[in-house]
């Protein structure tokens, strides 16, 4: 499609992406924008990530850019670093043929058909066939500003269809994360997964167990922190993928409309609202929410079976639940620490006598813990909601009102009155 027949403009592109494209082109290499940035521009959305593909090898790319680093084992990529922005450059991928000599050094598959190594280079036509979905196989050529559509991506956009290139089962087996990507694109772009691409997902969902936990963490962020988290969650449930990601929570969601379902959906609704209104969100809050009821259940189990008190059972359950989750999805320490604090503060928020309420307000994680408590209260009601409302009022009250609230609480719950401080007499100086 020549420039006059499409809506993709250089004005919508990153300046750094253009620098990379033009340097490759001026050095005699083919250079294209590909994937999501082209798709989003055609959909009238603002592109965010700019991926470049070329016939230059990773080593040739590195020779052109001093700010380049090569990454990846499964497939070698070049990252061109411009401050906080990184432009990813990939060499055209080719077909892997197991009969080729030396193939084991550049291409390797597992017994399940998953690609473990894939450093096979080829032509732009072969690269298009190796792309995952038809809407991601459109290439913007910096040489003449045309778009090459190799797999019917334009038609898929018109049909609002997420369709895999090639045999769906083979492609999912090559990389099971494509099942998550299909769900993410369907929710993000308000499209549907085509029948032939949807059919194998439920059968192949257990293959997610073969994906490294660290990689799944990054995928979860894309799935649930995109502004369409609730729609994505419902699709994950529909295709039996959610239970592969959160195996401790999934059994608690089997009964429609129960508190666990309500809690998860409300957390995602609130997160979507915050993202879509430009407010900050943290993955720690979502992970804390998704593991809260498994934590409560494990705590009760330890109290009944082991005869432990609530404090000891809670701390043991906390470690158990976190350990099981990170075997499926690796949670970095910068998030696992705040998750633990949010949970532990749920036990401290009911304790408000004396200076405790004031000390709680000064805690770095008070706001996250309070928001968590408020959400629990809205779902469960009763004493929990009353406690959350008390903290809502206490935060906004004047100093005099806060003292009255604490005195009223003391009288209501029958706590002993505070003893006046004894002032020790100063010893008389010795003569």
Token pair 């963490």 is found at: 217
Alpha carbon distance 360, 363 (integer Å): 5
Q: What is the dihedral of CA 235, 241, 246, 251, to 10 degrees?
A: 90
Kindly give, in sequence order, each residue whose CB lies less than 8 Å from that of residue 422, ignoring residues fewer than 6 positions away: none
Alpha carbon distance 404, 415 (integer Å): 15
Q: Which helix (H) or strand (E) holds 162?
A: strand 161-162
Phi, psi angles (nearest 5°) of residue 353: -75, 155
CA atoms within 13 A on the CB side of 270: 18
**Could you tell me which of 60, 64, 61, 40 has the C-alpha nearest to residue 52?**
61
Residues known to be catalytic: 49, 51, 132
CB atoms within 10 A of CB 181: 18
Q: 3 to each of 6, 10, 129, 287, how far by Cα in Å?
A: 6, 11, 23, 45
Are 28 and 64 within 8 A, CB to CB? Answer: no
What 3-state class would DSSP assign to 424? coil
Token duo for residue 330: 């690796």
- The dihedral built from the CA positions of residue 378, 343, 225 and 167, taken in this order, carries a sign that is negative
CA-based radius of gyration for the chain? 28
Kindly give, in sequence order, each residue whose CB lies less than 8 Å from that of residue 420, ignoring residues fewer than 6 positions away: none
Q: Which helix (H) or strand (E) holds 140?
A: strand 138-141
**Could you tell me which of 130, 125, 138, 126 has the C-alpha nearest to residue 38?**
138
Token pair 């082991």 is found at: 306
Q: 269 to each of 102, 166, 229, how far by Cα in Å?
A: 51, 35, 7
Token duo for residue 89: 């450059």
What 3-state class would DSSP assign to 85? strand
Are 249 and 288 within 8 A, CB to CB? Answer: no
């Amino acid at each position: 499609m020549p420039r006059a027949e499409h809506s993709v403009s250089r004005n919508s592109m990153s300046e750094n992406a253009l620098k990379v494209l033009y340097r490759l082109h001026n050095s005699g290499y083919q250079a294209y924008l590909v994937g999501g940035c082209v798709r989003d521009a055609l959909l009238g959305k603002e592109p965010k990530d700019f991926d470049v593909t070329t016939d230059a090898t990773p080593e040739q790319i590195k020779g052109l850019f001093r700010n380049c680093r090569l990454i990846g084992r499964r497939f070698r990529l070049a990252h061109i670093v411009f401050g906080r922005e990184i432009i990813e450059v990939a060499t055209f991928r080719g077909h892997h043929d197991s009969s080729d000599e030396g193939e084991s050094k550049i291409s390797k598959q597992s017994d399940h058909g998953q690609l473990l190594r894939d450093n096979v280079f080829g032509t732009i036509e072969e690269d298009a066939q190796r792309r995952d979905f038809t809407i991601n196989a459109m290439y913007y050529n910096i040489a003449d500003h045309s778009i090459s559509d190799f797999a019917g991506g334009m038609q898929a956009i018109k049909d609002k269809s997420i369709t895999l290139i090639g045999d769906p089962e083979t492609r999912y087996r090559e990389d099971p994360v494509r099942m998550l990507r299909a769900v993410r694109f369907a929710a993000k772009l308000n499209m549907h997964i085509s029948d032939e691409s949807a059919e194998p997902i439920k059968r192949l969902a257990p293959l997610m167990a073969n994906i490294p936990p660290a990689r799944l963490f990054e995928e979860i962020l894309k799935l649930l922190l995109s502004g369409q988290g609730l729609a994505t969650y419902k699709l994950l449930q529909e295709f039996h993928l959610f239970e592969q990601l959160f195996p401790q929570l999934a059994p608690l969601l089997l009964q429609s409309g129960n508190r666990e379902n309500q809690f998860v959906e409300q957390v995602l609704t609130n997160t979507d609202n915050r993202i879509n209104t430009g407010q900050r969100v943290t993955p720690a809050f979502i992970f804390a929410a998704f593991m809260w009821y498994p934590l409560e259940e494990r705590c009760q189990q330890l109290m009944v079976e082991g005869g432990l008190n609530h404090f000891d059972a809670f701390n043991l359950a906390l470690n158990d639940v976190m350990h099981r989750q990170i075997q499926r999805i690796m949670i970095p320490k910068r998030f696992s620490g705040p998750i633990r604090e949010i949970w532990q503060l749920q036990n401290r928020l009911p304790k408000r006598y004396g200076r405790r309420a004031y000390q709680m307000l000064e805690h770095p994680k008070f706001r996250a813990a309070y928001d968590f408590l408020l959400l629990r209260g809205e779902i469960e009601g009763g004493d929990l909601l009353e406690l959350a409302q008390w903290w809502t009022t206490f935060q906004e009250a004047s100093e005099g009102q806060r003292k009255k609230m604490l005195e009223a609480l003391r009288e209501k719950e029958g706590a002993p009155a505070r003893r006046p401080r004894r002032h020790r007499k100063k010893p008389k100086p010795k003569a």
